[in-house]
Amino acid sequence: MTAPADRRPPAETIAAISTPPGRGGVGVIRVSGPDVPSVIAGILRETLAPRRATRSTFRGNGGEAIDQGLAIHFPAPRSYTGEDVLELHGHGGAAVLRLVLARCTELGARLARPGEFTQRAFLNGKLDLAQAESVADLIDAATATAARAAARSLSGVFSTQIGALVDALIELRMFIEATLDFPEEDVEFVRAADVRNRIDEVAARIAAVLVRAKQGALLREGLSVVLVGRPNVGKSSLLNQLAGQDLAIVTPIAGTTRDAVQSPVEIDGIPLTIIDTAGLRATDDPIETIGIERTWTAIAAADLALVLVDAQAGDRMSQADAAILGRLPASLPRLVVHNKIDLAGLSPTVTTRSSNSHAEGSREERHVYLSAKTGEGVALLKREILALADVQGDMEDTFLARARHVEALRAAAGHLDSARAQLAAAKPPLELAAEDLRAAHTALSAITGEFTSDDLLGVIFSRFCIGK
């Protein structure tokens, strides 16, 4: 990958602490830029063999020892950023790291901005934008499955698929735009080239990548799952069961939960945030009222609602439970969870029922019967959660993707649909079809950074940690 000339990084040397703040056995200072040789001479007062760890003393302006550790010089262009890079691996105390960093700035470096090292790697053509984003995703991965998916994206799996789609679109654009120079023969030329069928093939490939990208976005973002229901239906018990530990207080006293309690949970590699909320009921207690208001706030922000009801009440839903279901946002996916089957003498199962409690009319709802106390049926609930999240098969070959990648793929698919419609006309408006193909090309190229705005680049890299 080659960076555009107008996106070359500035000729400045940057430095930062690359390890997390706090005490540790080892702390790393990273320096990148044209002044690295001067920094090496000033802080180490010796030469370094390329890409070889050398035990060194890190020295101050007067030659005094600041720290001792390992120094590694990565000469350009064979480095992470594509520039001269120096890494100083010393002791992990906050004070000593600040002293070493201050010495680097004395020697000509400035403090790096968040994500600036990876941004330089992108600008110097060492990584494309999707790979650069996967660096941050690998660091932030909440599950082992997400970490492996991020590593696949970093290795270029996602970028390779996008590149193949871009190449196919370039070929299609060639056929369309070449005919514009021959207006008398354009229609027959396009038909002879079978461009419409080729567009269908590219659209099918984009659809397949989009499915995997959505799975990757789910791995990265996870799901926010809110537990909803009347007091004492077992919301806190279910939270504890899903989390595998006692996080929420469980008592037979109604209104015990006054505030939202959150816990991260992993189901088959998918990260979930489970939110236990205050029971919904009419109350004069001002504190409980605040808790109920926060319940509805959590519902508004959730990706999925688990509506708990008491299995001992039988299949007929109470007016209070029906009212809760009816008040949920129509667009919010939900599962009705019948808890306490151990007390009702029921077996764990899943059923589908038609509900007429919503303003938009009848809708199919899934009902899961379980016991949050014993764990019976919880496996069924997990399966239903994954089904509602549209998890399809094994996630082990998924690459990590972001919401912007999914939107770009959708945009490209939409432009291809438009181009296909243009070409279906008896006298196809080739200029419009060519513009649709160009727009699809631009949308896909934005994923890897070929046509990405500088404003978007600033937003992306500003969310990285400093030192990366």
Encode pLDDT of 421-436 as tens digits: 888 876 777 788 889 9
Residue with the bigger pLDDT between 174 and 332: it is 332
User: pLDDT grade, residue 359 (50/70/90)?
Assistant: very low
The predicted pLDDT at position 306 comes to 93
Q: What was the pLDDT predicted at 99?
A: 96
- CA R_g for the chain: 29
Domains and CATH numbers, the chain: 5-126 (3.30.1360.120), 138-218+399-448 (1.20.120.430), 223-302+304-388 (3.40.50.300)
Q: What is the pLDDT of residue 5?
A: 45
**Least confident interval from 171-185, 201-215, 216-230, 248-262:** 248-262
Quote the pLDDT of residue 1. 53
**Mean of per-residue pLDDT scores for the chain:** 86
What pTM, to 2 d.p., does this model score? 0.75
Least confident of 1-5, 31-35, 410-414: 1-5
Distance CA 234, CA 252 (A): 10
For the CA atoms of 115, 116, 119, 121, what is the dihedral angle to 10 degrees?
Answer: -110
Does 252 have pLDDT greater than 60? no
456, pLDDT greater than 70:
no
| Range in 149-163, 247-261, 288-302 the model is least confident about | 247-261
